Amino acid sequence: MQIQGQARCGGRRSADRWSGAGTIFWGALGALLLAGWSLRADTLAALRQRGELRWGNDAEGGAPYIYHDPAQPERLMGFEVDFAGALAAKLGVKSEFVQHNWDLLLLGLADESKFDLVIAGIERTAENLGKVALSRPYFIFDQQLVARAGVTDVRSLADLKGRPVGVLSSSASHRLAEAAGASVKIYQDNVNYFSDLALGRLDAVLTDSPIAAENLRQQPELTAVGVPFAPGGYAVAVRPGDTNLLAAVNAAIATLIHDGTLQRIYTGHGLWNAAQQGLSGWTEASVTVPVRRRPAWSEWRTYLPLLLRAAGTTIWVTCGGMVVAVIWGLGLALLRLYGAAPVRWLAVAYIEVFRGTPLLLQIYFLYFGLAQQLGVKLSAGVAAVLALGLNYAANEAENYRAGIQAVPPGQSEAALALGMSRGLALRRIILPQGLRISLPSVTNDFIAMFKDSSIVSVIALVELTKEFQIRALDTGDYLGLGVMTAGIYLGLSYAASLGARWLERRLQRDRR
C-alpha cells in the first residue's frame, strides 16, 4: 500500500493562537528536548506501572475523529477516542486523553510528563517516519474532492489548475493540490474551508474521506466529485527510542483488527468500508523508508525565499491595517473629545468593545459572519486589513486622546483669544502638538502589529509565521527555520523602528 502525504489532523484544528515569537520559542525548546529521547526510561513499563495510557490529541479535532458529546459536553466521542480506549484495554491499562495543540503534538512527545503516544490522524509517511516512530496503520483513508452541487466543470483534480482549492495545511491534500497546479488556499481546520466552498470563495475542497463524508452529510449543497483516490493510513506516533511500546502497540492493533474490534468501532461511526479490510494485510514489508532531511540551514537557499515571500504578505497586511487604524483612530479620538453626547457615548462604546474582545473573534465575524448572515463576501486580504485596522483603531484613539489632552489648555485659549475658530485652533495648534506626543505609542503599535498579523492565517492567508509552521512541519526543523523567521521579524521591526525615530526627529525639529 502506497502511503502519501504529511502529518495531518483528523478533524478541525484550532485556529493558530501563537505569535511568531511564541511559536519559535516552543519549537526551539521542543527541538532541544528531542535530543534527550535516547536517555529515557522504558515508557511501556512506566505506563503499566501507572495504570493508564496517556494519549495526546487536540479536542478541537472534530467529528468523526474526536469531539464533545452535545448532550454531555464533558464527554469525548469519536472513532479515535474509541480506538484509544480499545488500545489501552489491550495493553491492560486505562485510557487517559491529554489535550495538546495539534501543530505541536509530535514535538510534545519529547516531554515525557505530557503523554506516552499520539493518536491524532498522524499519517504514516516517509517524512513522519523521519521524525518519530510510527505504528502499523489503524485506519485507511482516501483523498476526496468536494465541490458545490450542480457544478459541471469540476470532474477531477486536473480540472482545478489555477483555481482556488481549500486544503488543510501540511497534509496529503495540500501536497496533491500543489502538484496539480491548483491555487491552494491553506486552512488550519476542516470546517472553514467547507464554509468558504459553500459561500463560493473556493471552487473545491480536497480532504480526507472521513472528513468529506461528515461534511457532506451536514451540507446537502455540497457534493463529492469523482471517486476517492490516493489512499493513506493513520498511525500511532511514539518516541523514536520506545521500541518496547511500539512493539506492544503494533501487537495490540493487530489483535484489534483480527478479533473484529476495529470493525465494530468503525461500523458504529459509519466508517467501515472495503478499504479497512486492507489493515489486516499490512506487513513489515510495507514499511516506508524514512526521509532523512538535512537541517534547514543547509537548505537555506530553498527555505529563505519562501519565508521572504510570506513576509511580503505580513508587510502589506500590517501596513494596510495600520493605515486604517491611524485614520479611524484619529476620528474616534476627535469624536470622543469634541462630539455631541450621543456621539461621544458611541465612540467610547466602540473603543471598549474592540479593545475588550479578541482579535480572532473579530476576524471570524468580518470574514465568515458577514458572508453567512448578510451576504457580504469580503476577500481574505480585505477582511484581514479591516480586522487589524478596526481593532488597533481603538488603541490609537486612546493614544491620540492622551496626546491631545497633554497639550496645555492655555494653547487652545490663546488661539481662541486671537480670533481663531475652534476647528482652526484644533487643526493648527492642538493636533500638531498632540500627534507628536502620541507618535511613540502609535509606532510601538505598528511594530506590534507585525507580530499580531500572524493571526490572519486562520482565514487562509499564508503570512510569515504560517509559512514557518508549514515548513517546520514538513522538515521537522523548528530551530533552523525558527532562527530565519525570527531574523526576518527582527529586520521588519527594526526597519519600522528606524522609520519611527526618523519621523519623530523630523516632527520635533524647530522650524522657527
Residue where a domain terminates, one of 292, 314, 332:
292
Query: Is residue 380 one of the residues assigned to a domain?
Result: yes
pLDDT digits (tens, 9 = 90+) for 254-312: 999 999 999 999 999 999 998 898 898 887 656 566 666 667 777 788 889 999 999 99
Same domain membership, residue 370 and residue 248: no
Same domain, 237 and 316: no
Is the model's pLDDT at 244 over the cut of 60?
Answer: yes
Domain harbouring 246, CATH code: 3.40.190.10
Over pLDDT 90: what percentage of the chain? 57
Are 243 and 259 contained in the same domain? yes
pLDDT in tens, 114-165: 899 999 999 898 888 888 999 999 999 999 999 999 888 999 999 999 999 9
Phi, psi at residue 233, to the nearest 5°? -135, 140
Would you say residue 40 has pLDDT above 70? no
Q: Return d(Cα 145, Cα 224) in angstroms, integer.
A: 6
Same domain for 251 and 118, yes or no, is yes
- Domain containing residue 477: CATH number: 1.10.3720.10
Q: Within a domain: residue 62?
A: yes
Residues 468 and 373 in one domain: yes
Domain assignment present for residue 163? The answer is no
Judge if 266 and 353 occupy the same domain: no
Cα 400 to chain centroid, rounded: 33
292, 319, 339 - which closes a domain: 292
User: Is residue 407 included in any domain, yes or no?
Assistant: yes
Range of the domain at 474: 299-508
Q: Is position 253 within any domain?
A: yes
User: What is d(CA 3, CA 287) in angstroms, rounded to the nearest whole number?
Assistant: 10
User: What's the CA gap between 333 and 351, in Å, rounded?
Assistant: 10
Tell me how many domains the chain contains. 2
Which pTM was predicted? Answer: 0.78
Same structural domain, 312 and 280: no
* Same domain as 478, residue 367: yes
Report the chain's mean pLDDT, rounded to a whole number: 86
| C-alpha cell belonging to residue 67 | 469531539
Q: Does one domain contain both 280 and 357?
A: no
Contact 171, 121 (CB under 8 A): no
Question: Are residues 465 and 324 part of one domain?
Answer: yes
Sign, CA dihedral 311-313-319-322, equals: negative
- Kindly give, in sequence order, each residue whose CB lies less than 8 Å from that of residue 460, ignoring residues fewer than 6 positions away: 166, 185, 186, 187, 192, 193, 196, 380
User: Among 89, 84, 29, 34, which residue's Cα sits nearest to residue 59?
Assistant: 84
Check whether residue 273 and residue 357 sit in a common domain: no
Per-residue pLDDT at 423 exceeds 70: yes
**226 within domain boundaries:** no
| Residue 55 falls inside a structural domain | yes
pLDDT in tens, 170-229: 788 998 999 999 999 988 777 889 999 999 999 999 999 999 999 999 899 999 999 999
286 and 360 belong to one structural domain: no
In this prediction, residue 8 carries a pLDDT of 42
Task: Return d(Cα 97, Cα 114) in angstroms, integer.
Answer: 10
Residue in 167, 143, 175 with CA at minimum distance from that of residue 156: 143
pLDDT of 451 above 60: yes
Identify the domain boundary among 292, 307, 334.
292
Grid coordinates representing 38?
535516547
Query: Considering the domain boundaries, does residue 154 fall inside one?
Result: no
